[in-house]
Amino acid sequence: MRIGFHTDAFNSSYWDFEKCLQWAQRNGVHFIECGLIDGVSWIHGLGYQPHVALYEDPMLLQKKMETYGVRFSQVDAAYPLSGEDGPIRGLPYVLKSIPWARHAGCDRVATTDGLHKPHGLSDEEAMARMKRTYEQIVECAEAYKVTVNIEVHGYFTTNPDRMAEMLAFCDSPFFHMNLDTGNTFIAGQDPVAFCERFLDKISHVHVKDVSESLAAAVRGEQTGIAVSQCAIGDGVNAENIVQCIAKLRDHGFNGVLSMECEGQGGPMIERSLQWIRATFVQLGIKEHIT
């Protein structure tokens, strides 16, 4: 398997993307994931946001990343597709992101639903809208040979039965799932059972622990969290993560486990990295760097 990280770990540190590349190089991490910005943001333009804008040249960015020995595992275009504005805002955003990703040497794009029941729509109406949206997205993904992943993050996707329905929207080798160990747990699901049910569809994984205090406060009441305020391995979800990694190993998964946690400018995500590498040793997994 491969180890990567999402640059949202450094949102609170106000790093730019290149500083994240430097961190990856120092720590021997060769895979990176970031959010995509469709438009201009002052905080990004000033160098205080660790994500990438679609106006940045993807091929030149890929060349820069190569100098650090880092490449994309996935780019995040996860504007919620389940709400009323999913077709008018989320769909064009994803359709722009797919060719950008291909030119940046990235073969995965993350998508998702909203955190809450969509306003003004029944569940069935929202599902029908998402089906039409994903049909258009997958048509584009197939043309560019980029895998579109549905991330476990929201009202529909943290419900395993609804996730199964969504994954059946399109029959395509370029349509898969991004497992999130933290979001499944915080939504009140069993991450291990969730992982096992969708083993054939998982192509990318967000590894996220959950602090004891956060779990006590909101488990079963929220569907997704951006990052957990504890290092991976320090929370109440750690054993579930070990079991998920073991199941992925046994299924032959060789993709990227992308760390999602608060970085604290480095120390917390570095503890997370040490824990995942120790877990690889424990489970007899070889870390691949290409």
pLDDT digits (tens, 9 = 90+) for 15-29: 999 999 999 999 999
The reported pLDDT for the residue numbered 142 is 98
Task: With respect to residue 288, please indicate whether it lies within any of the assigned structural domains.
Answer: no
pLDDT given for residue 58 in this prediction: 98
Q: Is residue 6 part of a domain?
A: yes
Residue in 115, 117, 128 with CA at minimum distance from that of residue 87: 128
User: What's the angle, vertex CA 101, arms to CA 149 and CA 134, rounded to 5?
Assistant: 35
Nearest to residue 260, comparing CAs of 192, 201, 178, 189? Answer: 178
Does 144 reside within a domain? yes
Q: What is the CATH number of the domain that holds 118?
A: 3.20.20.150
Q: 39-89, pLDDT tens digit by residue? A: 999 999 999 999 999 999 999 999 999 999 999 999 999 999 999 999 999
Average pLDDT of the residues of the chain = 97
pLDDT for 54? 98
Tell me what pLDDT residue 97 has.
98
Radius of gyration of the chain from Cα atoms? 18
- Kindly report, residue by residue over 171-225, the tens digit of the pLDDT: 999 999 999 999 999 999 999 999 999 999 999 999 999 999 999 999 999 999 9
Residue 193's pLDDT is: 98
Q: Both tokens of residue 56?
A: 């940045």
Assigned domain for 268 exists:
yes
Question: Does residue 289 sit within a domain?
Answer: no
User: Strand 202-207 to strand 256-259: parallel, antiparallel, or no bridges (unpaired)?
Assistant: parallel
Beta-carbon neighbour count of residue 60 at 10 Å? 11
Q: Is 76 helix (H, G, I), strand (E, B) or coil?
A: strand
Angle CA 238–244–246, to nearest 5 = 105
Domain range spanning residue 73?
2-283
Phi-psi group of 134: left, alpha or beta (phi > 0 → left; psi -120 to 50 → alpha; rest → beta): alpha
Using an 8 Å Cβ cutoff, are 207 and 255 in contact?
no
**How many domains in the chain?**
1
The pLDDT of residue 229 is 86
Residue 84 maps to a domain: yes
Q: Does residue 51 lie in a domain region? A: yes
Query: Cα separation of 61 and 192, whole Å?
Result: 36
pLDDT tens, position by position, 83-137: 999 999 999 999 999 999 999 999 999 999 999 999 999 999 999 999 999 999 9
Question: Does residue 2 contact residue 257 with C-beta atoms inside 8 Å?
Answer: yes
Is residue 229 one of the residues assigned to a domain?
Answer: yes
